[in-house]
């Protein structure tokens, strides 16, 4: 059990800190949550800055430990997170890097790293959420194209994306073909004819995601990553990335928020409430442990060649609930101000409600843990 870093890793950390201290004061103001073109420009501009400084590939090629240090230091310094580059950097990019041909990697990866192209994710459908494998968007082969028709939902960043990592059904489910087979992974250009994006408004009032309608959209066969009908396996690579280190920065931010909460509570008198104070003390233990769990998971990934293991589901289950509890405690510190949308933490309290749903609900995560980690029989 070793929590120390090598001299090379410490040098990387020190260099990154210096660079952040120089670069961050010159960043423009963050755009409003509903200003999607502004958000795209801001997020891709930050990615370009990282690329020019040599940090562009830190999510892919760096060791898991360097990635952890990168996420820790950028969050501590208050730097932007991946934002609109989330899917490109953490889902589609790693998938293409792992499963794509040399030509596909050369076509799609550099623009993501340079902040030139933005990706979104077309996995969920109106009738395929937790039961993702029952997706029905059809793709029929026609010459050197697939003709795709169907509807996707909860597609984040769809309004400003250039590409969509799309799961489609190429072989219908039958007695011989279970639903996990017959799915294919395609890169869909969002400007193709027949693609319609309809923004969805979240309960927080913002348009964080969208529905995407596909009406006989022609996608070149060359845009298929992996074999036809093998898309389920290909997509699982991305999902385990998502549950691996994607939330590291947020845990760092939550630990900082705990300090801010305590300061606010001391200032407004709610710190005198022993029950609230002790709840916040316990949350501090919780988030410190979640940070240690990320180090534990990264150490495990080091041994298994970089692919995150089951620790991701354990982390996501606990973190999503802890985040919600944190903002409930924040609301109790705020008192009546918790009902004022212009106060800090109030919108975040609303956004936190998505954490036990997005990227696999807590219920599905428990199924995964029970069946794949604990080896319980297939559920019903």
Partner 1 sequence: MDFRPSEDQQALRHGIREVLEARFGPEALRAAVEAPALDRELWRALGDAGFFALCLPEDAGGVGLGLPEAVLAFEEAGRVLLPGPAVATFLAAGEIEGAAAGETVVTAAEGALVPWLAGADVVRGDTGGAVAVRSVDPLTPLHRVPEAPDTGTRRPAPLGSGAQGPDTLGPGATASLLRAAEQLGSATRTCETAVRYARTREQFGGPVGRFQAVQHLCADMLVRAELARVAVYAAAVTGDRLEAAGARLLADDAAVRNARDCLQVHGGMGFTWESDVHLHLKRAWVRAGLGAGARRAEEDLAAAL
Q: Which amino acids are annotated catalytic? A: 242
Query: Total number of residues binding partner 1 (CB under 8 A)?
Result: 51
Q: How far is the C-alpha of 245 from the C-alpha of 262, rounded, in Å?
A: 27
Would you count residue 377 as binding partner 1 (CB under 8 A)? yes
Residue in 104, 228, 295, 361 binding partner 1, rule: CB under 8 A: 295
Residue in 172, 178, 281, 335 binding partner 1, rule: CB under 8 A: 281
Burial (CB < 10 A; 0-12, 13-18, 19+), residue 201, is exposed
Per-residue CA distances from 172 to 133, 134, 143, 339 (Å) = 12, 10, 19, 49
- Three-state secondary structure call for residue 173: coil
Q: What would the two tokens of residue 64 be?
A: 């898991």
Which helix (H) or strand (E) is 40 found in, with range? Answer: helix 36-52
Would you count residue 219 as binding partner 1 (CB under 8 A)? no
89-148: contacts with partner 1 (CB under 8 A): none
Is 293 or 359 the residue whose CB approaches partner 1 more closely? 293
DSSP 323-362: HHHHHHHHHHHHGGGGG-TTSTTHHHHHHGGGTTTTTS-H
Would you count residue 253 as binding partner 1 (CB under 8 A)? no
Per-residue CA distances from 127 to 123, 152, 203, 361 (Å) = 11, 9, 21, 15
Residue in 298, 330, 333, 346 binding partner 1, rule: CB under 8 A: 298
Q: How far is the C-alpha of 148 from the C-alpha of 289, rounded, in Å?
A: 45
Residue in 28, 172, 205, 259 binding partner 1, rule: CB under 8 A: 259
Nearest distance from C-beta of residue 299 to partner 1, angstroms: 4
Helix axes 231-244, 311-334, angle to 10 degrees: 50
Residue in 289, 307, 339, 344 binding partner 1, rule: CB under 8 A: 289
Is 295 or 324 the residue whose CB approaches partner 1 more closely? 295
Q: How far is the C-alpha of 63 from the C-alpha of 74, rounded, in Å?
A: 17
Would you count residue 341 as binding partner 1 (CB under 8 A)? no
54-83: contacts with partner 1 (CB under 8 A): 65
Would you count residue 363 as binding partner 1 (CB under 8 A)? yes
Q: How far is the C-alpha of 199 from the C-alpha of 301, rounded, in Å?
A: 37
Would you count residue 286 as binding partner 1 (CB under 8 A)? yes
Residue in 50, 135, 204, 290 binding partner 1, rule: CB under 8 A: 290
> Is residue 20 a contact partner of residue 74, using CB atoms and an 8 Å limit?
yes
Q: Which stretch binds partner 1 (CB under 8 A): 130-138, 175-183, 255-263, 351-359?
A: 255-263
Would you count residue 367 as binding partner 1 (CB under 8 A)? yes
Nearest distance from C-beta of residue 262 to partner 1, angstroms: 4
**Binding letters toward partner 1, positions 310-329, x by CB under 8 A:** -x--x--xx-----------
Q: How far is the C-alpha of 320 from the C-alpha of 361, rounded, in Å?
A: 10
Residues that bind partner 1 (CB under 8 A): 1-5, 9, 65, 258-259, 261-262, 277-282, 284-286, 288-290, 292-293, 295-296, 298-300, 302-303, 311, 314, 317-318, 363, 365-367, 369-371, 373-380
């Amino acid at each position: 059990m070793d929590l120390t870093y090598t001299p090379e890793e410490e040098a990387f950390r020190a260099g990154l800190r210096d660079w952040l201290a120089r670069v961050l004061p010159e960043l423009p103001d963050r755009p409003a949550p509903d200003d999607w073109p502004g958000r795209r420009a801001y997020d891709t501009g930050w990615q370009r800055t990282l690329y020019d400084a040599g940090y562009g590939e830190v999510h892919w090629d760096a060791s898991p430990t360097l990635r952890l240090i990168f996420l820790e230091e950028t969050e501590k310094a208050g730097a932007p997170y991946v934002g609109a580059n989330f899917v490109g950097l953490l889902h589609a990019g790693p998938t293409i890097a792992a499963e794509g041909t040399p030509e596909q990697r050369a076509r799609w990866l550099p623009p993501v790293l340079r902040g030139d192209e933005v990706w979104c994710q077309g996995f969920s459908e109106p009738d395929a959420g937790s039961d993702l494998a029952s997706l029905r968007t059809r793709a029929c082969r026609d010459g050197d194209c697939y003709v795709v028709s169907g509807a996707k939902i909860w597609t984040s960043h769809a309004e400003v994306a250039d590409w969509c990592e799309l799961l489609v059904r190429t072989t219908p489910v039958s007695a011989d073909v279970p639903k996990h087979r017959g799915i294919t992974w395609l890169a869909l250009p969002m400007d193709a004819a027949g693609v319609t994006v309809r923004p969805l408004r979240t309960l927080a009032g913002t348009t964080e995601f969208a529905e995407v309608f596909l009406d006989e959209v022609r996608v070149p066969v060359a845009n298929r990553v992996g074999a036809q009908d093998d898309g389920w396996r290909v997509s699982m690579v991305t999902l385990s990335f998502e549950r691996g280190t994607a939330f590291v920065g947020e845990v760092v931010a939550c630990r900082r928020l705990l300090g801010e909460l305590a300061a606010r509570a001391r200032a407004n008198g709610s710190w005198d409430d022993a029950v609230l104070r002790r709840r916040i003390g316990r949350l501090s233990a919780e988030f410190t442990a979640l940070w240690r769990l990320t180090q534990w998971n990264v150490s495990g990934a080091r041994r298994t060649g970089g692919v995150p293991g089951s620790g991701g589901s354990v982390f996501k289950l606990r973190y999503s609930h802890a985040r919600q509890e944190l903002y409930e405690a924040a609301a109790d510190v705020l008192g009546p101000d918790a009902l004022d949308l212009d106060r800090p933490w109030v919108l975040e309290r609303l956004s936190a409600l998505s954490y036990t749903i997005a990227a696999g609900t807590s219920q599905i995560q428990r199924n995964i843990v029970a069946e794949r980690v604990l080896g319980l029989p297939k559920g019903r």
